[in-house]
Amino acid sequence: MIGTGSVTELKSAPSFNKIKNSSLVSVGNRTPEKAADYASRHGIPKWHKDPYDVIRDPEVDIVYIATPPGSHPEYAIETIRAGKPVYIEKPLANTWDDCQLINEAALRAGIPVYVAYYRRSLDYFLKVKEIIDAGSLGQLLSIHMQQHFIAREEDKDPENLPWRVIPEISGGGYFHDVGCHALDIVFYIFGDPLGAVGQKSNLGGLYPPEDTVTASIRLQGDLLVSGNWSFISPEAFVQDRIYVTGEKGTLEFSVFSFDPITLKLGNEVKNLSPKGPEHIQQPLIQSIVSEMLGEGRCPSTGETAAITSLVMDQILGT
C-alpha cells in the first residue's frame, strides 16, 4: 500500500487481512514517520520511506495506491512496468487524459487496473440495480441526482486548505471527490453515458475550485440525467438522494447516507435497507482477490473509472 491517509484506516486497509488468500505486507509513505506509525498500529510487517520500494518489494503481488489523484499516474505506471496489478483510489486520476495514460500502459502490458468505486459491490446498490434490471419501473423516464453538503470547517482556513480543494493535487474540488461516486454508480446501474454538459460556479469563495455544479447527462436509450451539487449548503438543506422516475413508479436512494431505498409502485410503497459492511471497500477488494485467483470479476476497472472522469471533465468544461 502506498499512502496512509484517512481513507485507509477503516474503509479499506483492514479488509486486506480479513479476506482469504490476502494480506497487507508492506506500506510506504514519503514521510517515514507516517509509514512507521501506520505499520506499527496495523501490524504490517514492513514499511518503506520510499513508495517505490513497495512496488519493488518481491513479496508484493498487487499495489494499492491510496494517495491523492495527482500522484496516481506516477505510481500506477511504475507498478504496471513492474508487472504488477494495481488498485487505485478514486478518481482514477485528475483528468481523463491522465486516466488514459494509466489505461494505455496497462493495455500494452496486459496488466489489470482496479479502481475504488466500491459502491459497485455493496448490497445496497446491488439491490437498486436488481430493481432496475427487473424492469419494475417499466420504461425509465428521468433520473435526478441531488447532493447538497455543508462547508467543512477545514475549508474555512485559507492558509491551510485541505488537499481535496487544491486542483493540482485532487483534480478539482469536492465534485471530483464526492460527485464522482454518484456519477459512477449511476453509470453502473443505468448504463454508460453518451455525453454530458454542465455549469459550475464558486459561490462561497472558500477555495479556488467550484463549490456548485449542475449537469445534464444523456444515457443509452435517450434517458436523461440531471444533477446538482452544492458543497456550501446550509445544514438544514443537506440532501443526498437520487430520484428515478419510470412509467410504473419511482425509486429513490442515497449515495453516502445509505438512507432506505424507497420504491413506489402505484399505491404500494416499499422501504428497503440493505446494510453496509464494517469496512466499506471490503466487498470490492474481495472481488479483486477473487479475480486474481481466477474465481470472479471485479466490476470497477480502469476503463470504467475513466468513463466517470471523462464525464466530470465534460461537465466542468476542462
Residue 232: the pLDDT is 98
Q: Residue 318: pLDDT above 90?
A: no
User: What interhelical angle do 96-109 and 72-81 show, nearest 10?
Assistant: 10
- Which residues in the chain are classed under CATH 3.30.360.10? 123-275
DSSP class of residue 165 equals G
Are the C-beta atoms of 140 and 223 separated by less than 8 Å? yes
* Rounded-to-integer distance, Cα 123 and Cα 188, Å: 14
Mean pLDDT of 185-191: 98
**Whole-number percent of the chain with pLDDT over 70:** 100
- Fold category of 123-275 in CATH: Dihydrodipicolinate Reductase; domain 2 (3.30.360)
pLDDT in tens, 149-185: 999 999 999 999 999 999 999 999 999 999 999 999 9
Q: Record the pTM.
A: 0.96
- Which pLDDT belongs to residue 154? 96
Can you identify the CATH homologous superfamily of domain 6-118? NAD(P)-binding Rossmann-like Domain (3.40.50.720)
Asked whether 120 and 298 are in contact (CB, 8 A), the reply is: no
Predicted confidence at residue 74, as pLDDT, reads 97
**Residue of 304, 94, 98, 315 whose CA lies nearest to 187:** 304
What mean pLDDT is reported for the chain? 97
pLDDT band at 119 (very low <50, low <70, confident <90, very high): very high
- Are 169 and 163 spatial neighbours (Cβ–Cβ below 8 Å)? yes
CB atoms within 10 A of CB 311: 25
Taking the CA atoms of 66, 304, 276 and 14 in sequence, report the sign of the dihedral they define.
Answer: negative
The C-alpha cell of 15 is what?
A: 479488509
State yes or no: pLDDT of 259 exceeds 90. yes
Pseudo-torsion of CA 45, 46, 47, 51, nearest 10°?
-130
- The answer, yes or no, to whether residue 16 has pLDDT greater than 90, is yes
